Amino acid sequence: MNSQTTITKLQSINLQKPITIDLTDRLSVRLYKDCRPSCLETGVLQKGLVLLLDGRELIEEGVGFGVPVVKYEDKTFFSSSAEVSIQKTGSDCTITKAYTLDTVSLKKFGRATYIDDTLYSPARKTFQSLYLKHKKLTPLFNKVMELRDLANIKTEFITVKPRGKVIINYHCQPTAINIQADFSRVLLNKCCEVLVLNEQGSSIFQKYADSNGLALLGNKIGAWETVTADHASLQSARGQISFSLQNDRGATLFRGWERTRKRFSWAGLSYSMRPNNGSFDYSIRLDFKAK
């Protein structure tokens, strides 16, 4: 589909409905104004671009391409509300999503009792440290997380006073998605880290490969590992579809993959940066081999 046809369709779309852009005859991307698709742990959070193959969404529990998360000394802030707009410049069309940083996570026991962060946070950090360092025990740790559900301990996202907005521009092309993240409206007081997540579903993207020759499958990819190669990709099991990112000097690139029954199902390549009020541009390369 050529750019002019795509723009004509976009102009006629009601923004209360999702925006879907065809990249090729089989590959497309979709952006929702609300928190759909609402799947598992991230169900109430805003999503970025959803990748589709033959009309099927591949995101699962992932948050999509180009989603901001900002960490502060006290809490990590997510977005549960956003505004979407479309801008036409000549033959180009850019979709913009303004993410409001208005949501934090709490652990809840039963129906009404919240767990004190001063008690839960040290235990969570210890668990995460063990989880990341001992990859051979990943199946055991996954069972522990599943047992947490049996004990009726849940993660709940609650809306709080916002700490700013992050404006994300998506420019979609047949083989690439160009993304610009604008942090100029983010409160930097006691801010520790800025993240831009790029995630789709882990049952689809099961393989990792990078320019250093490293190849990993499933749990071997790790939950949050630093990428040292110039570029890295996540691929479907048979290599039919993949997305790739460059290792940018202005940020640290991480790879991640998690699949835990009733909780997690995401595969991602995400950037971490020091707090700033500037912008960060990058591209996601898409590869699809018809079979």
Q: Is 137 a member of any domain?
A: no
Q: Judging by beta carbons within 10 Å of its beta carbon (0-12, 13-18, 19+), is residue 14 exposed, middle or buried? A: exposed
SS3 198: strand
16, 32 contact by CB (below 8 A): no
Query: How many CA atoms, within 13 angstroms, populate the side-chain half-sphere of residue 254?
Result: 18
CATH classification at residue 64: 2.70.98.10
SS3 45: coil
Q: CA 259, CA 197: separation in Å to the nearest integer?
A: 17
Q: Is 71 a member of any domain?
A: yes
238, 275 contact by CB (below 8 A): no
Q: Judging by beta carbons within 10 Å of its beta carbon (0-12, 13-18, 19+), is residue 66 exposed, middle or buried? A: buried
Q: Is 235 a member of any domain?
A: yes
Q: Is 199 a member of any domain?
A: yes
Is the pLDDT confidence value at 249 over 60? yes
User: Angle at which helices 138-150 and 117-133 pack, to 10 degrees?
Assistant: 150
Section 217-244 average pLDDT: 94
Q: Is the peptide bond before 68 cis (omega within 30 degrees of 0)?
A: no
Q: How many domains does the chain have?
A: 1
Section 190-215 average pLDDT: 96
> Which residue, 222, 223, 195, 243, is CA-closest to 69?
195
pLDDT on residue 107: 65
Tokens 């699962």, located at residue: 60
Q: Is 241 a member of any domain?
A: yes
Residue 143 tokens read as 């069972």
pTM of the full predicted structure? 0.81
Q: CA 264, CA 242: separation in Å to the nearest integer?
A: 20
- Look at 97-111, 177-191, 201-215 and tell me which has the smallest mean pLDDT: 97-111
**Domain extent at residue 181:** 3-104+165-288
Q: Is 146 a member of any domain?
A: no
Q: Is 201 a member of any domain?
A: yes
Mean per-residue pLDDT of the chain: 82
Q: Judging by beta carbons within 10 Å of its beta carbon (0-12, 13-18, 19+), is residue 167 exposed, middle or buried? A: buried
pLDDT on residue 281: 96
Query: How many CA atoms, within 13 angstroms, populate the side-chain half-sphere of residue 31?
Result: 29
Q: Is 52 a member of any domain?
A: yes
Section 79-104 average pLDDT: 88
**Residues 132-150: pLDDT tens digits?**
444 554 555 444 444 445 4
Section 19-39 average pLDDT: 91
pLDDT on residue 124: 42
**Residues 53-83: pLDDT tens digits?**
999 999 998 999 999 999 999 999 999 999 9
